[in-house]
Amino acid sequence: MRKLAASGLLALATATSATAEPAPRPNIVVIVLDDVGFSDLGSFGSEIRTPAMDALAQGGLRFNRFDTKAVCSPTRAALLTGRNPQTVRMPDLPAAKLNPADMTRDRGELAPNAQTIAQVLRGSGYETVGLGKWHLAPEQEDGSPGHNGSWPLQRGFDSFYGFFLGWTDQYHPKLIEGNRRIPAPETPGYHFSVDITDRAIAALPAPGDAGATKPKFVYLAYGAGHSPIQVPREWIDSYAGVYEKGWDAMREDRLARQKALGIVPKNTVLPPRNPGDRAWADLTPTEKTVFARFMATYAGFITHTDAQIARLVAHLKQTGQFDNTLIVLMSDNGAASEAGQKGNFERLYAPNKLTPEQMLARLDELGTDKTQAEYQRPWAMLGSTPFRRYKVWPQLGGVRTPLIVSWPRVIKDKGAIRKGYVDVIDLAPTLADVAGTRFPRSVGGVAELPVAGMSIKGMLGKATLPGRAVQYLELRGNRAITSGKWRAVAVHKQMTDFATDTWQLFDTEADFSESNDLAARYPAKVEELKRLWWREARKYSNPPLAEAPEAFRLRERFDDSPERQPLPDRLKPADPNEDTIKREAGQ
Q: How far, in Å, are 21, 90, 403, 453 from residue 78 at the CA level?
A: 34, 9, 15, 9
b (16+ CB within 10 A) / e for 446-466: eebbebbbbbbbebbeeeeee
Answer yes or no: are the C-beta atoms of 82 and 454 closer than 8 Å. no
Q: What are the backbone dihedrals phi and psi of residue 219, each rounded to the nearest 5 degrees, phi first?
A: -100, 110
Answer yes or no: are the C-beta atoms of 211 and 205 closer than 8 Å. yes
Rounded Cα distance, 380 and 391, in Å: 8
Q: How many CA atoms lie within 13 A of 116 on its CB side?
A: 25
Task: Return the amino acid letter for 567.
Answer: L
Catalytic residue, chosen from 72, 191, 315, 492, is: 72
Task: Dihedral sign for Cα 50, 51, 54, 56, please.
Answer: negative
Answer yes or no: are the C-beta atoms of 487 and 480 closer than 8 Å. yes
Q: How far, in Å, are 35, 38, 69, 350, 468 from residue 86 at the CA level?
A: 21, 24, 11, 29, 19
Classify 93 as helix, strand or coil.
coil
Query: Which one, of 28, 36, 115, 111, lies nearest residue 72 by Cα?
Result: 36
Tell me if residue 315 is catalytic: no
Answer yes or no: are the C-beta atoms of 432 and 438 closer than 8 Å. yes
Tell me if residue 135 is catalytic: yes
Catalytic residue, chosen from 135, 191, 304, 492, is: 135
Rounded Cα distance, 371 and 523, in Å: 50
Edge-to-edge strand order for the sheet containing 403-406?
180-182, 175-177, 159-163, 127-133, 216-221, 27-33, 325-331, 403-406, 61-63, 416-418
User: Which sequence positions are flagged as catalytic?
Assistant: 72, 135
